[in-house]
Amino acid sequence: MTAPPLPDAAAPADLAPAGAAAPPGVRLLHVDARVVVADKPPGMLVHRSRQAADRDVLLQRVRDALGAWVTPVHRIDRPCSGALVLARDPAAARELQAALGAADALKAYLAVVRGTPPAAGVFDGPLTDHRAGVLRPARSRFVRLAALPAIDAALVAVRLDTGRRHQIRRHFARAAHQLAGDTQYGKGWFNRRLRAAHHLPRLCLHAWRIDVAHPDGGRLACTAPLAPDLAAFLARVPGGDAARAAIEAAAEIDWPGVAGEPSAAGEADGPGMEGAGHVAGLRGAGAEDGAAPRVDA
């Protein structure tokens, strides 16, 4: 099946239905015969759920716009915005799920966190899968893009090597760098202060970049621009303009390595990775794995 052309080849497609009460439009970042990448707005569910009465969900919007079957190959939570990959046939779904779990997969997020974390680091503590009652390996790498001392916070880019439920939120919370706007693992006083002083809109978490193997060969690489509500929040924060500029300037990020992983020079990193930027042995609680590889935090 050939993918229908976007309404404007120079811009993502706007899938917002008619009606003033409709949620923000869903943009398509990539469309081909086998894969779609959508830019999920905050507050919208990926698919219908028994836990919510929502009928207007991203999956149905994309299906209606394309007039064809699609299925998500991972999930991001309701308050999170950004890039979501959908397959257009069952074989593509299987191949994309495998690609998302591969060692060369890039699943990068942007987040605003409390305090000032190290310039770079790795969280590699396992997180609890409550359904199975066991700990699952979990690893998140991060790079601090900008400090925001006026609000005692920082903008970070985070790369997920695994996909546990709420992984980014839980890893950073255990390090006392809770995400701004996180009502489950965050600090209430911190969120209230940001809402009162700077109109914090919601959880400051955005699925930023995806780079994985395409089912037909080559790479599927997409970047979702920072969601408008988070961009506006940063514009209201002292130092926020510099943080937004740091996002635009971050064409390539030098992610911190981990023990046993080949370095840029082609040699495996040794045990010396237990340095100032490495946070090992972090223990989490209250997690469960999703049915599909999860690129969410």
Please tell me the CATH superfamily of domain 104-251+274-287, with its number: Pseudouridine synthase (3.30.2350.10)
- What is the pLDDT at residue 195? 97
Please tell me the pTM assigned to this model.
0.82
CA distances from 283 to 31, 127, 253, 286 (A): 39, 6, 27, 11
Could you give the residue numbers annotated as active site?
Answer: 77
Instruction: Give the helix/strand (H/E) hosting 110.
Output: strand 106-114
Provide the total of helices (H) and of strands (E) in the chain, helices listed first. 6, 14
- What is the pLDDT at residue 47? 65
- What is the pLDDT at residue 291? 33
151 touches 162 (CB < 8 A): no
Per domain, the residue ranges of the chain are 1-100, 104-251+274-287
- What is the pLDDT at residue 34? 96
Please tell me the CATH superfamily of domain 1-100, with its number: Pseudouridine synthase (3.30.2350.10)
- Which alpha helices (H) appear in the chain, and where do they start and end? 58-66, 90-100, 167-174, 188-198, 228-236, 240-249
Q: Which residues of the chain, if any, have pLDDT below 70?
A: 1-24, 47-55, 259-297
- What is the pLDDT at residue 287? 31
- What is the pLDDT at residue 10? 34
69 touches 86 (CB < 8 A): no
35 touches 88 (CB < 8 A): yes
Same CATH topology for 1-100 and 104-251+274-287: the answer is: yes
